[in-house]
Amino acid sequence: MTALAFRSVTRQYSAGSSQVHVLDQLELDVAEGQRIAIMGASGSGKSTLLHLAAGMDLPDEGRIEVFGTAVSELDEPERTRFRASRMGLVFQDYNLIDSLTAFENIELALWLTDQAVSKSEVVALAGELGIEPVLDRRPGQLSGGEQQRVAIARALIHKPNLILADEPTGSLDQDTANDVLHVLQQSLQDRQCAMVMVTHSDAAAAICDQIQVLDHGRLVPAA
């Protein structure tokens, strides 16, 4: 089954009196369990592509499907519910809630989908990601690598079918980034979860099955 499909997707924005085509009749197919890296220059539209895939933005033209559901045709509450149940999001700046512990940040994804919170599942996943000893700490007490592992755990705890990652190692030093990439790669392999990652990092792109470059609003295979 196709995890994510873009069909002739166009997204444009106003720039003064003109229209800028960020995405232009873009086509994308991501198979179930496949990991694809999207690279490209700053401002090329990588984050726009990811926001469209997540249903956080809508195309001006075209159709976006996630596991057969036309996300681009759902209303906003439906998109929110669908995103919470079927997708996991990982951001460059972690997006953790400062007032919550690491454990509470992870379990938040279960509350959002009305799933029963299983402490043992949270602890088991944290152990897999190497953050079990810090579950009682708040984000401000964690290193950048620990915060990103908490964010990855939050993205995985509700067993999503698709991970959308926006520069997941962009705020980390190289050694920490390599550790986080290894953890992310192993976790996705174990779960056969699809992923679309936008990144400037060759090392991050290397954990993916395929690399595509966003150029003038369309995707082309990496050279």
Yes or no: say if 90 and 152 are a contact pair by the CB < 8 Å rule: yes
The pairing of strands 18-31 and 2-15 is antiparallel
Close Cβ partners of 152 (under 8 Å, ≥ 6 residues apart): 90, 129, 168, 180, 183, 184, 187
Under 8 Å between Cβ of 47 and 38? no
What is the phi-psi region of residue 94: left when phi exceeds 0, alpha when psi lies from -120 to 50, beta otherwise? left
Mean pLDDT of 160-182: 92
Q: What is the pLDDT of residues 72-103, one digit of tens each?
A: 999 999 999 999 999 999 998 999 999 999 99
| 21 has pLDDT over 90 | no
In this predicted structure, what is the pLDDT of residue 113?
A: 80
Q: Is 68 exposed, middle or buried (0-12, 13-18, 19+ CB in 10 A)?
A: exposed
pLDDT above 90 covers a percentage of the chain that reads: 82
Taking only the tens place, the pLDDT of each residue in 134-163 is 999 999 999 999 999 999 999 999 999 999
Task: Name all domains of the chain by residue range, CATH numbers in brackets.
Answer: 34-44+76-218 (3.40.50.300)
Q: How confident is the model at residue 15 (pLDDT cuts 50, 70, 90)?
A: confident
- Phi then psi for residue 136, to 5 deg, are -90, 5
**pTM, entire model:** 0.93
